[in-house]
Amino acid sequence: MIRPVAPGGGVRPALIPIGPGSVAAGTGRPAGPSDPYKFWSEYYRKHDESSDQLRETLRLLNLSQKFTDVHAALLGYLNHRGSKDREPWMYIALAIAVEELKGKPEDIKLALNYAADAAQRTHNPNDLVKAADALFLKGYYERIGPLLDEAAAKVPHRSEPLVMSINLARKTKDPKRMGDSIDRLLALGWPGSDDYFRREARKQAEELAGKLREKARGKEADELLARLPAAEARDLFIRLTWDGDADYDLAIQEPLGAVARFSMPRTVFGGSIIKNGYGNHPEEIYVCPRGFNGDYTVRITTIYTNPDKPPTRLTLETITHEGTAEEKKETHTLVPDDPRAKLVVVHLSGGRRKTVLPFLSPEAIVESWFVTSPGSQGTKTRKDRRRPAATDAPKATRGDARPNDPKP
């Protein structure tokens, strides 16, 4: 039988031996024909079932509260499949099954290490993050870093690997990982979560610096905090506000041709519409924390105006190199719907972006922007671009929903 390669290299015996004593202490294993381990081992020796079929089998067994069978079915399937058929989720499920049966902690850790091995074979960022999350929840931190680093490199537009990396740095008191992760997280704008991420990133860095000082690691604490201003600085910041009851949208054409707008809140060149307000929350914000050099052209689109309380003035604020010694701020006062108004163009030099982000469809970006997490203050999609009814007015600017994780 071909066994998985031991985590980190080398060869080890079977994942969890099927012999007596390998199951949780006190549970035992039925003897004779009713032995679920013998049954499922024979079943998967004779049946070549798919991953989806295994999922369904486990679902039904869980519904029937046959947790020993869940454990036996997973072992039977894994022991009779080649490495290419062993998926990371199976080992995570195995770890849960062992824990449910009050099994040995070392068997749980072993299963999760196999999950990490399988995730590194697939190079799928979802697998990598799930394996890292499972290890983190059990406090097995040794292998999490490489999993998150690979995931972050493959999906730089996703916050999960970076947020988890900050969590890991806090737990392991690793100032370098903390600084690197914050720098990568704040290199992008995050529609719906930007203010939250910026606030929490600084908070986590300051808390870690305090703990480092308690351990007589003051130099490392100082170096970590010294990295924050550069990480928090933004190459370009544009804010639109107005009076009256109305809704305006920003559309920013970037130097290399992409346009950030409501329907495409982040571009491959790093620009993001991070706030989209209307009605009683008249604020639109575009940021490009790390941008390419060139001209950024600002266009303003009217979505609706209330004839009983029409806007009389729009204010456009632009800042280049925000938070640095080279910061330059300009304010433009505009007349609503003025046909003679000239386009506002902001020139950026000294931009810090070096690479282009992966392309995502507008639908995928907008869908992720407007997902409402349980317990969060939800955001609303404008299905009707006309003036919303009074009962539809939001209690907060759209885009304020916080991510599921309470801390990065």
Every domain of the chain and the residues it spans:
32-122, 164-232, 238-362
Q: Name the residue among 247, 238, 353 with its Cα closest to residue 290.
A: 353
Separation in Å, CA 261 to CA 174, 276, 300: 38, 10, 10
- CA angle in degrees (0–180, nearest 5) for 373-375-380: 55
Contacts of 354 (CB under 8 A, 6+ apart): 290
User: Would you say the pTM of this structure is higher than 0.85?
Assistant: no
pLDDT in tens, 89-141: 999 999 999 999 999 999 999 999 999 999 999 999 999 999 999 999 999 99
Q: Name the residue among 259, 271, 290 with its Cα closest to residue 354.
A: 290
CA pair distance 85, 90, nearest whole angstrom: 10
CB–CB of 260/287 below 8 Å?
no
Q: Name the residue among 294, 289, 255 with its Cα closest to residue 270.
A: 289
What is the phi/psi pair of residue 387, to 5°? -60, 130
Residue with tokens 């544009």: 238
DSSP-derived secondary structure letter, 373: P
CB–CB of 237/275 below 8 Å?
no
pLDDT in tens, 12-21: 333 333 333 3
What is the model's pLDDT at position 26? 36
Residues of the chain with pLDDT under 70: 1-33, 361-408
What is the model's pLDDT at position 159? 95
What is the model's pLDDT at position 362? 64
What is the model's pLDDT at position 337? 85
Q: For 26-29, which contacts have Cβ atoms below 8 Å and span 24 or more sequence positions?
A: 26/102, 27/68, 27/101, 27/102, 29/68
